[in-house]
Amino acid sequence: MFEKKNSKKDVEFEKIKAYAEESTKAQKPVNKKKEIISNIIYVVIVLAITIFIICFVGQRTKVDGDSMYPTLHDGDNLIVDKISYRFHDPDRFDVIIFPYPQNEKVFYIKRVIGLPGETIQIDYDGNIYIDGEILEEEYGYEVMVNPGIAADPITLGEDEYFVLGDNRNESNDSRAVDVGVIDEDDIIGRAWVRFYPFKDVGLVKNIE
């Protein structure tokens, strides 16, 4: 029996293979370290952006009650856009946040219906009139049965807004004496994003 000798080509191939294996072993720890560092940087950036948004652009708020059903639900967590109204006035159908006039530690979430200078009236059939014309809108969950103080025409001042909850028969809003019309200076911002519960994450429906 004769032992088969490796050719020069085989020897060179084995050397290259061994070198490649050693290089791979040496690179694995380095690549893993880079991956960990990359993940840490990503998390830090996300946290920094989140903190910036909450502190300077928006704020977190939680829905308490069903006055905005079905648009918003009790327990929904929202990010409020606090910066947009520095550049433009609230639009009709925006969902806004403002302090309850009788307790500034309590915040209300309602939809803008009437704009500054307009005359608002609601009849006992639930129709909303803006300057004598019926407002075409589909936000109301059911037919409104109580027009409240808006049974008589209400003319808004140059910085005043008339607001309603979408669940109007379960909402304390501008129809009530204790709430009334909302001054623009009291508006904190616009409901922007629902981030919890996770199954309902998305933008809050504002203007059409």
Which residues are tagged catalytic?
67, 110
Using DSSP bridges, classify how beta strands 182-183 and 160-164 pair: parallel, antiparallel or unpaired.
Answer: antiparallel
Contact 111, 165 (CB under 8 A): yes
Q: What is the dihedral of CA 139, 60, 84, 160, to 10 degrees?
A: 60
Nearest to 154 by CA among 129, 187, 180, 120: 120
Q: Cα–chain-centroid distance for residue 207?
A: 14
- Burial profile 73-109: b = 16 or more Cβ within 10 angstroms, e = fewer: eeebebbbbbebbeeeebebebbbbbeebeeeeebbb
* Cα(30)–Cα(9) distance, integer angstroms: 32
Nearest to 80 by CA among 194, 184, 206: 194
Contact 193, 76 (CB under 8 A): no
